[in-house]
Chain A
Amino acid sequence: MNVAAPVRARTLGRVHVPAVTLAHGGGGKAMKDLIDDVFVRAFDNPLLAPLDDQARLDLADLKRRGDRLAFTTDSFVVDPLVFPGGDIGRLAVCGTVNDHAVGGAAPLYLSCAVIVEEGVAIDLLRRIAASMAATAREAGVAIVTGDTKVVTGACDKLFLTTTGVGVIRDGVDLRADRARAGDVVLVNGLLGDHGAAILCARGDMALETPIESDCAPLHGLIADLLAAAPGARFVRDPTRGGLATALNEIAEASGIAIEIDEQATPIREEVKAFCEILGLDPLYLANEGKIVVVAPPDEAEAALEAMRAHPLGQGAAVIGRALSGEPGRVTMRTVLGGRRIVGMLGGEQLPRIC
């Protein structure tokens, strides 16, 4: 990133009121102060600093890194904005970074569009921006452009949209339709933590053992994994809809069946207990720091070891296999030995008892 134009040093504006007002979206000095104070100060990088309408990226640098550009976008809405183990800012950076990572791309630049509701505390915004900046540093990406809008009542406190640009190394080709019968299905650790943490925080549920979100940037882990198991078919982050949904999508795309083993599927006892109380199935809870990997049998061991060697993969486990059975069907071998159909949910989890 040696391409930024020489930055003329300028003094960053400051906000002196406690909460966001409509004036902060008006395009005038108030808005500029808000952007300066909250975002530019936090994100602090040479590409962003000029505050031009666009960030200018060096093509030659991108080309050295791989042969394809990866380009993704994602919007983030979460209630509450700050939860155990993370906040909407960390989520917004990890989400887009991980969308790159599961495709084998190295993420480089992010944009950040902000829609904020009038009345949101400036301190809260500062905290979230700081969290984004910290997460971006952790992930090795720069937030290089952005936008801010202030609305009244049209959004729930704060919505973030991040868009990312990254590069895919030559030869890397991960696709959901590449899974074959006999392939091994792995995950990098405990499932359902994020979903449980959000529900827990949202309902203001007093639990003795708080569960924290697993929100983390995963491209480092995936890079290690691909180095050890270059034949890996496919990596997916089981975010919304959880493991169950991700497996269904893979089974559907590859025309195979997948069977997982309940005992081998790592779920924290606290999450199980929490789900038991709420009547929810942890297989459908969102994750923000987990991947599902489908690897050919001869590379499964290497994939497992590579993940376990990484700080974000210490709880990695083989959870099941791809089978030649009914295409698109996901089942779970239960503790009692039965086989339960783990379907794709149309929406939320609903009681099916009649």
Chain B
Amino acid sequence: MTPGGELAYEPEYLAMEIRVRGRVQGVGFRPAVWRMAHELDLGGEVMNDAEGVLVRIGGEAAAVNDFLARIAREPPPLARIDVIETHAYHGRLSSKFRIADSQAGAAHTQIAPDAAICPACAAEIVSPFERRFRYPFANCTQCGPRLSIVAGIPYDRASTTMASFAMCSACEQEYRNPADRRFHAEAIACHACGPRATLIGLDGRATSSDPDLQLYAVDAARALLRRGEIVAIKGLGGFHLACDATNAEAVGRLRRSKRRERKPFALMAADVEIMRRYCTVDADEEKLMGGAEAPIVLLRAYEPRRLPEDIAPGLRTLGFMLPTTPLHALLLNGLDRPVVMTSGNVADEPPATGNEEARERLAGIAAYALIHDREIANRVDDSLVRVMGGKPRVLRRARGFAPAPLPLPAGLKAAPPLLAMGGELKATFCLIKDGEAILSQHQGDLENAETFDDYRRSLALYAGLFDHSPVALVANKHPEYLSAKLARARVAADPGGSIEVQHHHAHVASCLAENLYPLDAPPALGIVLDGLGWADDGTIWGGEFLLADYRSYERLGLFKPVAMLGGAQAAREPWRNLYAHLTAEMWWAELRTNFAGLELLADLGRRLRSILDAMRRGGVNARKASSCGRLFDAVAAALNICRDRQAYEGEAAARLEAIVDCDAMRGGHDELAYPFSIPNMSDSGLPYIEPLAMWRAILGDLLLGTPAPLMAARFHKGLAKIVVAMACKLAARDDQGGARFETVARSGGCFQNRVLFEEIIRGLERPRFGALMVSSEGACAAYYQYGSLGREAAE
């Protein structure tokens, strides 16, 4: 109503400043805002600054409110909004909405993870009417390389490996046009100006160097795959080795030449329908593979297997992914079968990233290589995810996930900047900053010099990208982890804070943090079913029940400590664990008498038993470990699975899981479960899981000729049951009568086992526990050192 009482319609003007925090830079946020503002006919501006994105918007009140709602509702796919704040704005605004220059400090932008090809780009490259028809490096703000090409800060084209490609005018126009989905797409490229793919012979055979032929390089590579050749393919974050997955001879040749004995090969297929010929793919799994992260997803294979056994020897799962880049999409276009897409390396080396390196290292494996001239600045391996208990669990966190930050729980938001250096074998590191945890991509085994160099390069890169200067370094307590040694050396050279965390406490704390468990909440029971970790008392832990919060922990229970005869060698050779377990409580002569005729005992008797005995007697490399992983190894060995040697970490346990008789597992017969007991340790008095009764039952079953799949089911059932029983027993041990904890947090490598995972969930749901939390192993290995965080934040 206007003064004077005259009724007139005057649209109400509203202007506000909108602050958006989160992953909002480098993901097409500004153009999205620009388009919304233009559609709603609003004026103002949008810019990047040190805190994220700042929007100043003015116009009709209803339209401004609509605009605000749409920002929250329809952010670009790769964006993640953490906070939107609004303030009234009284300054002048441009009537035509514009994208303003970035403000100072914008350099400290978050860098997004590499994203798999988006539907729009995927459609373009197969459309003859588009200028990027058949272009292997098409990308836009919604997809394409990010972390893998960034070499420095700030994240713009000049600091990526795209710097050497000058944009053509057509690309430049798209890059400058806010209405275009390639507005400020730093890796923008096309046939005219961008990287090119080339097919080269690695065995000295020349292939044409005619640049026009690059169009056909991908087609030629596909033809080679069809023919049964092994082709090295330069992907997003490293080289792959590919061959026709339906060609058993080619798969076998790849195994031999790559010297990868049994570790499963990842597969790639043009679409999910091809995968469905071999595996079940449920809606969750399909969605995962089709998302921007596009990880390898472990799928349940049909029995009998319809692909060569050599792809995943002894396993019932297949790791599949969809094409992740336009190059892969074009390569697989029209290929009506899956291809092996395994890491481009020999044995356990890190995958090659450079063209020269690939020429040198992969020449003995692949006859040809499909390479390109966009350099890989950072090695980023394929991520690995398994859906368990209805949720995706990240087993290896790399491409598509890193370096996306994870939020920290309440109470930890104020934690000072920290750098957690990670473990050793599957090393990753984690920056704590501004209430977030930034996890690096999976780095690999640090004992490998190339991997260690990559790890250090990544540390420097992340420090720059995230403008991170830690007040303290956090390291694993293990005396010999190279990551921990590097931390100690750094602290010695430049004195600063240093925090050492026990391996399994870190597991529990990372699980709590991942589930946003508040800092000041009461301690939870951490059930860590793991391989090995160094403990405070100089012993080796691995199957632990810890009452823990972020600051501290108390060991409440454990798995029976059994000698690891030969240290790391015992982890490689399951028969050693079997022997140590069997003879922990039973005499050899007693075993031979009571279970005479068992193939297993005859076999062990032929081995260097006397030396193992001497090692145990003399305390030579025979530390005891309370490990759950080693128990798995021992049981697998009893069932003659990987008895001699595991070809990769966790093989015995994975193969034991693979043979489980699912019908027996599903049938709710509790008496099926192998018996365990929970006595108390003679020294500490702590309750521990004693497997002696289980061993007698297993030996009995072997005598009876019980089928191995049924025995595997009985073991999984029994183990799950005793773990649940231990949790219940520990919960009830409070003298005041109340439960000692309300929450159970589960972590550790053994939880990668879906059968065990789901059986323990079922078991724990029944009794009293309110909250059940699980950590995904990939994240755990990385942010690991949350444990220290609480301490640091609280002090």
A residues contacting B by CB (< 8 A) are: 199, 202-207, 276-280, 326, 329, 331, 336-341, 343, 345-347, 349-354
Contacts and interface: CB of A to CB of B under 8 A. Distances in A.
B481 interface: yes
A192 to B, nearest CB: 14
A242 to B, nearest CB: 15
A207 B610 CA distance: 10
Interface in B578-634: 608, 610-611, 614-615, 617-618, 620-621, 623
Contacts of B533: 354
Contact of A339 (B346, B449, B479, B485): B449
Contact of A353 (B446, B568, B610, B623): B568
A353 B361 CA distance: 27
Interface residues of B, number: 50
Given A277-B611, A350-B623, 7 more contacts: A203-B615, A206-B614, A277-B569, A331-B449, A339-B449, A341-B449, A353-B649
Nearest to A331: B449
Contacts of B615: 203, 205, 278
A341 B568 contact: no
A343 B485 contact: yes
A311 to B, nearest CB: 32
Contact of B532 (A279, A326, A337, A354): A354
B540 interface: yes
B425 A352 contact: yes
A340 B451 CA distance: 10
B642 to A, nearest CB: 15
A200 B452 CA distance: 35
B346 A351 contact: no
A205 B450 contact: no
A352 B478 contact: yes
B347 interface: yes
Nearest to A201: B618
B416 interface: no
A204 B571 contact: no
A352 B424 contact: yes
Contact of B346 (A280, A326, A336): A336
B530 interface: yes
B241 to A, nearest CB: 16
B501 to A, nearest CB: 13
Nearest to A339: B449
Contacts of A279: 565-570, 621
Residue among A203, A341, A347 with max Cβ neighbours from chain B (10 Å): A203
A202 B620 CA distance: 9
Residue among B450, B608, B620 with max Cβ neighbours from chain A (10 Å): B620
Contacts of A340: 447-449
B480 A350 contact: yes
A345 B480 contact: yes
Contact of B614 (A205, A337, A341): A205
A341 B480 CA distance: 12
24 contacts: A203-B620, A204-B614, A206-B611, A279-B566, A279-B570, A336-B347, A337-B361, A338-B346, A338-B347, A338-B349, A339-B450, A343-B482, A345-B480, A347-B479, A350-B478, A351-B540, A351-B568, A352-B447, A352-B480, A353-B425, A353-B568, A353-B649, A354-B531, A354-B532
A259 to B, nearest CB: 9
A203 B618 contact: yes
Given A203-B614, A346-B479, A352-B568, A336 B532 contact: no
A350 B567 contact: yes
A345 B479 CA distance: 8
Interface of B: 259, 346-349, 361, 423-426, 446-450, 452-453, 478-482, 485, 503, 530-534, 540, 564-571, 608, 610-611, 614-615, 617-618, 620-621, 623, 649, 749
B500 to A, nearest CB: 13
A202 B614 CA distance: 9
Nearest to A345: B480
Contacts of B449: 329, 331, 338-341
Contacts of B453: 326
Contact of A205 (B347, B423, B532, B610): B610
A297 B571 CA distance: 42
Contacts of B566: 277-279
Contacts of A278: 566, 569, 611, 615, 620-621
Nearest to B426: A354
A204 B531 contact: no
Nearest to B489: A328
Contacts of B564: 351
A207 B615 CA distance: 13
Given A204-B614, A338-B448, A354-B532, A349 B567 contact: yes
Contacts of A338: 346-349, 448-450
Contact of A276 (B446, B485, B569): B569
A198 B617 CA distance: 15
B213 to A, nearest CB: 32
Contacts of B424: 352, 354
A338 to B, nearest CB: 5
A319 to B, nearest CB: 17
Shortest beta-carbon contacts, A-B, top 5: A279-B569, A279-B566, A203-B618, A339-B449, A351-B568
A354 B425 contact: yes
Contact of B482 (A207, A339, A341): A341
Contacts of A276: 569
Contacts of B621: 278-280, 349
Contacts of A349: 567, 621
A343 B565 CA distance: 23
B618 A204 contact: yes
A341 to B, nearest CB: 5
Contacts of B348: 338
Contacts of B749: 354
Nearest to A275: B569
Contacts of A203: 611, 614-615, 617-618, 620
Contacts of B503: 354
A272 B317 CA distance: 37
B578 to A, nearest CB: 16
A345 B481 CA distance: 10
A329 B486 CA distance: 12
B328 to A, nearest CB: 27
A339 B448 contact: yes
Residue among A205, A336, A338, A340 with max Cβ neighbours from chain B (10 Å): A338
Contacts of B479: 346-347, 350
Contact of A341 (B259, B346, B349, B452): B452
A353 B571 contact: yes
B794 to A, nearest CB: 27
Contacts of B565: 279
Nearest to A207: B611
Given A204-B618, A277-B611, A341-B447, A353 B531 contact: yes
B448 A351 contact: no
B568 to A, nearest CB: 4
A159 B492 CA distance: 36
A336 B480 CA distance: 24
A352 B620 contact: no
A129 B622 CA distance: 34
A263 to B, nearest CB: 16
Contacts of B425: 352-354
B423 A343 contact: no
A351 B569 CA distance: 8
B749 to A, nearest CB: 8
Given A336-B259, A337-B346, A343-B482, A350 B534 contact: yes
Nearest to A337: B346
A341 B571 contact: no
A228 to B, nearest CB: 33
Contacts of B618: 202-204
Contacts of B485: 343, 346
Contacts of A351: 532, 540, 564, 567-568, 570-571, 623
A278 B618 CA distance: 12
